[in-house]
Amino acid sequence: MMAVQDKHRSMSVLSWLSWLYFGAVLGLWVVVYTLGDRWWPATVILFAPRWIAALPLAILLPLAAWRSRFSLIPLLLGALIVAGPVLGLNLSFGRSAALGGTILRVITCNIDGIKHDPVALAVLIRDSSADVVALQEYPAGLKLDLPPGWQSVQERGLAILSRFPLQRGITTLVSNPPNPWPSTCLLQCIVKTPGGDLNFCSLQLPTPRFDLLPLLDQTTVINPSRKGQLLAGTVYRRRAAQEVQKAVAGLSGPTIIAGDFNMPVESSIYRQVWNGYGNAFSQSGFGYGWTQRAKSRKLTSIGIRIDHILIGPGLEVRDCTVGTDVGSDHLPLIADLEVVKR
C-alpha cells in the first residue's frame, strides 16, 4: 500500500513539474517577444543562449517516460516551444516564383576586422556569383581579390562592393555621449543595375555586448546592481537605430539595407524601427539563420540571428540562406532579391 502511495505521489510531483516547465518556457517566449530591449532582464535573455531552456528536459523526459507517460504531453509541448519560437526557428518552404525583373544576389557579413580570412571571403564572393556585397568591420587598406570590373566604396569600417557601377551616397554617424567620437552606422550607395538604380546600404548598429558583460558575476551569474550601463546602452541603441532608419526613409527608389543590426528580430527596437521593411530570411529562409557565434566567458556558445537583409517597396525576396565560414565570428547572409518591374 505504501509503495502504491509513493508511486502516485511521485507521479503527481512529476506531473506538476512537467506542467510547470511548460508554463515556464511559454512565459519565456512571451517575455522575449514582448519585453526584449524594453525590460532589462528580458534584454539579457534576448541575447543569452536560449537553448539553456531545454536542459531540464534531459532529466524530466526520461523520468516521465519511466513513471508518468501522461507528463510527456506538457514536456513535448514545451520542447516544441523551445525548439521553435524561443530559439527563433523560421520555416519557409521553397522559393517564390520570379516576376521577370532583375535578380540580384546580395551578401552581407561582419568580417571581424583582420580576423577574417580574405581568401575565403574573395572565394565566397566569386563562387556565389554575388552582385552586391555589404561588409562591416572592414579594415582600412584591405584589398580583396575581387573579380575584374568590381567597384568598392569604404567608409570607416563599412564597405560596399559591386559588379555594377557605384555612386557614393550618404553616410550616417551617431554619437554616444560622453564619447566625443561618433561611430559610422550607415554607408549608402546608388547601385546602377540593369534593372535601374537602387539604394544599397551597409549598416552596423551599436552592439549590446559591452553593456551586458558588466552584469555577469561569478557568484550570482547576474548582478542586478550593475544594470545601469545596460539601460543606458539600450537607450543609445534605440536612438541609433531610429536615426539610421530616418536617413534610410529619406531615400527615393528601391532600397536594400544589409548588415549587422546587432539585434534579433524579437527585439522591440527591431520591430518598432524596421517594421516597414521586409526581412529576407524571415520571408524565405529555413532554419534558425544564426549569423553570429559568440562565447560568454569561454563557457557557453551562443548562436543568434543579428545580421539581416531588409528590403523596401519595389523589391521581392526569392531566397535567403546563411553562407559558409570566412573566418569571422559572423557568418555571411546571402539573399536573392528581385527588382520588380516598374
Q: What is the CATH number of the domain that holds 315?
A: 3.60.10.10
Statement to judge: residues 201 and 301 lie in one domain = yes
Is residue 136 situated within a structural domain? yes
Is residue 281 situated within a structural domain? yes
pLDDT, position 279: 98
User: Per-residue confidence of the chain (342 residues) as pLDDT tens digits?
Assistant: 444 444 455 568 889 999 999 999 999 999 999 999 999 999 999 999 999 999 999 999 999 998 888 899 999 999 999 999 999 999 987 556 666 788 999 999 999 999 999 999 999 999 999 999 999 999 988 989 999 999 999 999 999 999 999 999 999 999 887 676 678 899 999 999 998 999 999 999 999 999 999 998 777 788 999 999 999 999 999 999 999 999 999 999 999 999 999 999 999 999 999 999 999 999 999 999 999 876 544 434 568 999 999 999 999 999 999 999 999 999 999 999 999 876
Q: How far is 186 from 202, CA to CA, in rounded Å?
A: 6
Alpha-carbon distance values, 185 to 173, 176, 242 (Å): 6, 12, 11
Residue pair 255/198 in contact (Cβ under 8 Å)? The answer is yes
Boundary of a domain, candidates 51, 86, 121: 86
Boundary of a domain, candidates 60, 86, 112: 86
Q: Which helix (H) or strand (E) holds 248?
A: helix 228-249
- Bridge partner list, 307: 260
Domain count, the chain: 2
Is residue 298 situated within a structural domain? yes
Statement to judge: residues 225 and 110 lie in one domain = yes
Statement to judge: residues 170 and 287 lie in one domain = yes
Q: What are the phi and psi torsion angles at 70 (to 5°)?
A: -60, -30
Q: How far is 261 from 314, CA to CA, in rounded Å?
A: 22
Domain that holds residue 47: 2-86
Statement to judge: residues 224 and 164 lie in one domain = yes
pTM of the model: 0.92
Is residue 255 situated within a structural domain? yes
Sheet with 102-110: strands ordered across: 151-155, 158-162, 132-136, 102-110, 333-339, 315-322
Check the CA dihedral 155-159-161-165 and report its sign. negative
C-alpha atoms less than 13 angstroms from C-alpha of 116 in its C-beta half-sphere: 28
Statement to judge: residues 28 and 171 lie in one domain = no
Q: How far is 97 from 319, CA to CA, in rounded Å?
A: 10
Is residue 128 situated within a structural domain? yes
Q: Indicate the residue type of 114.
A: I
Statement to judge: residues 225 and 266 lie in one domain = yes
Is residue 51 situated within a structural domain? yes
Is residue 273 situated within a structural domain? yes
pLDDT, position 2: 43
Statement to judge: residues 68 and 106 lie in one domain = no
Statement to judge: residues 76 and 107 lie in one domain = no
Statement to judge: residues 127 and 268 lie in one domain = yes
Q: Enter the C-alpha cell of residue 219.
A: 557568484
Statement to judge: residues 180 and 67 lie in one domain = no
Question: Which is nearest to 173 in space by CA: 132, 203, 194?
Answer: 203
Statement to judge: residues 78 and 107 lie in one domain = no
**β 179-193/166-176 pair status:** antiparallel
Boundary of a domain, candidates 58, 86, 114: 86
pLDDT, position 12: 81
Is residue 230 situated within a structural domain? yes
Statement to judge: residues 202 and 311 lie in one domain = yes
pLDDT, position 3: 45
